[in-house]
Amino acid sequence: MTLSADGWIHGAPLQWTRGRIKNLIASSTNGTWGGEPAEDGSDVRCIRAADFDRVGRRAKTNGAPLRSIDASSLRQHLLHPGDLILEKSGGGEKQPVGMAVLYEGEEKAVCSNFCSRISPASDVESRFLTYVFAAAYGQGLTQSAIKQTTGIQNLDAGVLFSSPWAYPGLEEQRRIADFLDAETARIDHVSQLRERQKALLGARRWSHFQAELDRIPGGTLPLRRVIRSIIDGPFGSAFSSDAYLDEGAAVVRLGNIGFADYRGGDQARIPMALFERFRYHEVKSGDILIAGLGDSRNHAGRACVAPDDLGAAIVKGKCFRARVEKERADANFIALLLSSPVGASAVEGRGSTRSMINLEIVKSALLPIPSLARQRQLVTVHRKSWRQTKAAMSACDRQMALLAERRQALITAAVTGQFDVSTASGRNVTDGVTA
């Protein structure tokens, strides 16, 4: 929803000044990227949108890159505590450009050329201005100033700054900012607890499975002892993103391989003629799909079973397709085993779980493999436990979404004067606050 002058501004407290967002701003200066680091102690941090704390609306300096900025440019672009950094170029469908964060650092820093430095007017509390931008962003006012001619969103700051706004005097700004600092901190604390709870629930999935595996008598077997065949997928320009279609044969990529689950939300497809050409790499229902590449969140070697409704499909490079000896192994159990910490450790013993692995590493992985009947029993037990855990995790997600909505509603209500912060409690503000 877009805040409008004929809505909340006319209903704002009578003593508030009617004007525009630009009346709250002393200056706005585009940032700079500077040059490659000199590494002589003169480099300064360059804050990008990637360095935004998008919940607390603060700039983070720890991970910001060091850049060489000449003295003249540094005088023009140097950030001062209390300045805001506004993202002017970038963004995406789920995260539109236009967020502003507060800079509170003490070390020398600038913002990147995709951002601008905003200095609050002399009679404006910087924290209050940060909340004003948060309200504008959350309610869609910032998005209405976006111009997009390519894949990159560009914010027309002039349009945004010309938007009508009403605002109180400095002392009331400080009271509003103090109130919101305290109330949003409470909300953020609860949200962090829910995030922690969700992480613990996720870890519980594998602790239950591990406990069951520990009851398996005997040692381990190399995976090659229970698989009939394993191949890797083809590479080449024929499988670049430009060649994909909306229909045709499916291409199994790394992103489709989850932890014992197939992720079909972003399904790439190729012409059937190309599928016939690479039929050797065909994937059939019940095949095990194994990721040959990992990253910071997904270990190499994780696996899932090809779903029944996949249709005609092939496996792409950096992925493997395995078929089990059905008399000795259950495909769902092997996929579950490879996706678990036990599987990650088995692969890690012969190569890094965070880098590319090859067929030999997979085939040589030593794994606890019980009887076929026991494998199927473990799959059934795990599925029941995981359904319950996922339900609890979904409840955490819903609670965090409600908390985020409440946080935004509270900010909007406070900076638009819909209640008096000196007598109100944030607990009485509903999520239905509108402009």
> Which pLDDT score is estimated for 229?
93
| Token pair belonging to 243 | 């060649």
> Which pLDDT score is estimated for 242?
66
Q: What is the pTM of this model?
A: 0.78
Tell me which residues of the chain have a pLDDT lower than 50: 1-2, 5, 350-353, 431-435
Q: 5-12+19-167 and 219-369: same fold?
A: yes
Contact 135, 416 (CB under 8 A): yes
Total Cβ atoms within 10 A of residue 199: 12
| Token pair belonging to 269 | 């497809």
| d(C-alpha 54, C-alpha 68), whole Å | 26
Quote the DSSP letter at residue 331: H
By DSSP bridging, strand 109-111 and strand 58-59 are: unpaired
CA distances from 199 to 98, 206, 244, 408 (A): 30, 12, 35, 24
Class of CATH domain 219-369: alpha beta
| Token pair belonging to 105 | 């650092």
Report the SS3 class of residue 71: helix
Instruction: Just give the CATH number of 5-12+19-167.
Output: 3.90.220.20
- Domain map (residue ranges) of the chain: 5-12+19-167, 169-217+377-435, 219-369
> Which pLDDT score is estimated for 353?
43
> Which pLDDT score is estimated for 4?
52
By DSSP bridging, strand 249-252 and strand 313-315 are: parallel
What pLDDT digit, counting tens, does each position of 347-379 carry?
875 444 457 788 899 999 999 999 999 999 999
> Which pLDDT score is estimated for 431?
47
| d(C-alpha 2, C-alpha 136), whole Å | 8
